[in-house]
């Protein structure tokens, strides 16, 4: 199976990328030419195989071109979030060993005062010369990259529990040049992506899934429609306009689309839509059921991570029979492990590990790498869960989020699911706060639905509803009402921020029961 460059040579006039806001398409030939020039330019800057450069750009075609250039030149492209602070950008640039950074007029302010070699994809500044001008000035014979390994992205973890860490995956050998990358071939087999695929990416390209799946669509001969920023109605309009076949979402996007008026939701023809992939954060059962009722049984959920050590998947039909599951292993083999390292049987909750998955290491952090790998060589993303008798995985929480109360492990997600049953609750997150006797007790941070009063009576009603399905020791001792939960753009809850806030405000909000 040819890679993108082989396909571009065979059909250079085929439109492969459309930026939704501009509405203009980029052909395979134009993208391949730009990526090829960028690869030559990167090599001319002295970057050797395995070295790194950084990309700090809003959603635009140049991100794809630069990652494709990294492939050609055997480099790592560290694609950074545009929402990072200047200190965070400086940390990642130093941690990754980036030799240079490519930015834009929009993102260059985040690089002010840093000792970094910056280039701009648009207007040149005193801080950063023009990359386009540098590409136009390239001279001499093209460098031969045929003996170099194939480069790839270097993505940083979201940092929800501390400093983000680079996930360093091995470069592919030069012998695979000209072939679609192995992950794209798996995507073709499992998700039915092919030359007729039109893939809608509504999320930032600095996240692993939007970037990698957009590139896989190109590798497989399809095209990508990329939103500069998510808008619920525009996403539906793009599916109809471009006859989108595949898409990828996070649960918060589902929630926003479901809130559109019924007449808006019915306005757009979604009949071309064959597969709606979602991941990144737990999807509330009622939200997913509502999406299946609307779009049909086309949702495909997966559980994985940037580390790529294992994957589970579940179709809509399977999920309807097992609501809340994230599926069975499609890459690697699942293991549920207790605190002593022993494997647990079906139904028992423990840490989720995979064996036989991909290799990775955390850049410059051998301790964290060792913590992710047990004595058997199995690897974990750090989550807690159980499998049923048929091998379907149900996640409970992240290990770092467990609440140890009086010697008992409490799982925030279980408590959140019980609290969310009440009609007044729009969103909820549970964290452990200090307690003099129990060590920690649960505190619930609740976002109420519009029009609901944030009163003691409301708090007690929500708790009483949860008490119908939860043991008393699992019920929150306190409840606070807040305007919004802190989340990443992917929808991942920044539980750490709530923990930090309420560690110092353990008596905030309304008391729900006696201590």
In three-state form (DSSP H/G/I as H, E/B as E, the rest C), the secondary structure along 197-266 is CEEEECCCCCCHHHHHHHHHHHHCCCEEEECCCCCHHHHHHHHHHHCCCEEEECHHHHHHHHCCCHHHHC
The pLDDT, as a whole number, for residue 497 is 86
DSSP strands (E only) in 56-207:
76-79, 101-103, 118-120, 152-153, 155-156, 166-168, 198-201
Residue 63 parent element (H or E): helix 61-73
The pTM of this model reads 0.82
Could you give all domains of the chain from N- to C-terminal order, each with its CATH number?
Answer: 4-12+23-178 (3.40.50.980), 322-400 (2.30.38.10), 402-511 (3.30.300.30)
Look at residue 350 and give its three-state secondary structure: strand
Nearest-angstrom CA–CA distance, 166 and 154: 6
- Contact (Cβ atoms closer than 8 angstroms) between residue 290 and residue 261: no
pLDDT score for 242: 97
Q: Which residues contact 236 (CB under 8 A, 6 or more apart)?
A: 257, 260, 264, 265, 267, 268, 270
**510-511: strand order across its sheet:** 425-435, 439-448, 478-481, 510-511
Give DSSP secondary structure letters for 415-465: HHHHHTTSTTEEEEEEEEEEETTTEEEEEEEEEEPTT----HHHHHHHHHH
In this predicted structure, what is the pLDDT of residue 162? 59
pLDDT in tens, 248-263: 998 889 988 998 999 9
pLDDT tens-digit map of 262-300: 999 999 999 999 999 999 777 888 889 999 999 999 999
Per-residue confidence (pLDDT) for residue 487, from 0 to 100: 86
CA 188 to chain centre: 20
pLDDT of residue 515: 47
> In 3D, which of 411, 416, 386 has the Cα closest to residue 400?
411
d(CA 356, CA 386): 19
Q: What is the pLDDT of residues 328-344, one digit of tens each?
A: 999 999 999 998 889 99
How far does Cα 224 stand from its chain's mean position? Answer: 18
Per-10-residue mean pLDDT of the chain, 515 residues long, equals 94 97 92 98 96 97 98 97 85 93 94 87 89 92 95 80 80 93 87 96 92 96 96 97 96 90 97 95 86 98 90 97 95 93 93 90 90 92 92 83 77 88 93 83 94 95 92 89 87 83 83 70
- 413 contact partners, CB below 8 Å, separation of at least 6: 282, 395, 396, 397
The b-or-e profile of 212-235 (16+ CB within 10 A means b, else e) is: bbbbbbbbbbbbbbbbeebbbebb
The 3-state DSSP class for residue 152 equals: strand
Q: ∠ at Cα 395 (390, 398), nearest 5°? A: 150
Q: Token pair 């580390």 is at which residue?
A: 307
């Amino acid at each position: 199976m040819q890679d993108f460059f082989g396909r571009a040579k065979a059909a250079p006039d085929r439109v492969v990328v459309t930026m939704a806001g501009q509405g203009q398409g980029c052909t395979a030939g134009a993208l391949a030419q730009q990526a090829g020039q960028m690869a030559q330019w990167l090599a001319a800057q002295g970057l050797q195989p395995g070295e790194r450069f950084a990309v700090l750009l809003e959603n635009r075609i140049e991100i794809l071109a630069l990652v494709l250039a990294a492939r050609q030149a055997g480099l790592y492209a560290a694609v950074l979030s545009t929402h990072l602070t200047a200190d965070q950008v400086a940390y990642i640039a130093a941690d990754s060993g980036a030799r240079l950074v490519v930015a834009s007029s929009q993102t260059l302010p985040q690089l002010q005062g840093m000792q970094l070699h910056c280039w701009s994809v648009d207007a040149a500044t005193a801080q950063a010369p023009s990359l386009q001008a540098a590409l136009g000035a390239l001279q001499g014979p093209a460098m031969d990259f045929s003996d170099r390994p194939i480069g790839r992205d270097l993505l940083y973890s979201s940092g929800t529990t501390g400093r983000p860490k680079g996930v360093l995956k091995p470069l592919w050998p030069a012998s695979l040049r000209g072939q679609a990358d192995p992950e794209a071939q798996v995507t073709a087999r499992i998700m039915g992506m092919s030359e007729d695929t039109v893939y809608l990416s509504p999320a930032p390209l600095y996240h692993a899934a939007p970037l990698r799946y957009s590139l896989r669509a190109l590798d497989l001969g399809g095209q990508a429609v990329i939103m500069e920023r998510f808008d619920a109605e525009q996403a539906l309009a793009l599916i109809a306009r471009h006859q989108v076949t595949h898409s990828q979402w996070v649960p918060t996007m589902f929630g926003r689309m479901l809130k559109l008026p019924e007449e808006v939701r019915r306005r757009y023809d979604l009949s071309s839509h064959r597969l709606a992939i979602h991941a990144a954060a737990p999807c509330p059962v009622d939200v997913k059921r509502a999406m299946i009722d609307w779009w049909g049984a086309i949702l495909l959920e997966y559980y994985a991570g940037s580390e790529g050590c294992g994957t589970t998947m579940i179709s809509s039909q399977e999920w309807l029979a097992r609501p809340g599951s994230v599926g069975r292993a499609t890459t690697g083999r699942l293991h549920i492990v207790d605190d002593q390292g022993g494997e647990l049987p079906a139904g028992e909750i423990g840490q989720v590990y995979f064996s036989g998955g991909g290799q990775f290491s955390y850049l410059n952090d051998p301790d964290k790498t060792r913590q992710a790998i047990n004595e058997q060589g199995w690897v974990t993303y750090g989550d807690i869960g159980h499998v049923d008798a048929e091998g379907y995985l149900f996640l409970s929480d992240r290990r770092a989020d467990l609440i140890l109360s009086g010697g008992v492990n409490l799982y925030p997600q279980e408590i959140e699911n019980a609290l969310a049953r009440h009609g007044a609750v729009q969103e909820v997150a549970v964290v452990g706060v200090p307690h003099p006797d129990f060590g920690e007790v649960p505190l619930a941070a609740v976002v109420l639905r519009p029009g609901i009063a944030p009163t003691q009576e409301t708090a007690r009603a929500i708790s009483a509803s949860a008490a119908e399905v939860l043991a008393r020791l699992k019920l929150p001792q306190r409840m606070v009402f807040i305007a919004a939960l802190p989340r990443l753009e992917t929808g991942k809850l920044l539980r750490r921020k709530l923990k930090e806030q309420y560690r110092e405000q353990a008596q905030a909000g309304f008391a729900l029961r006696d201590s």
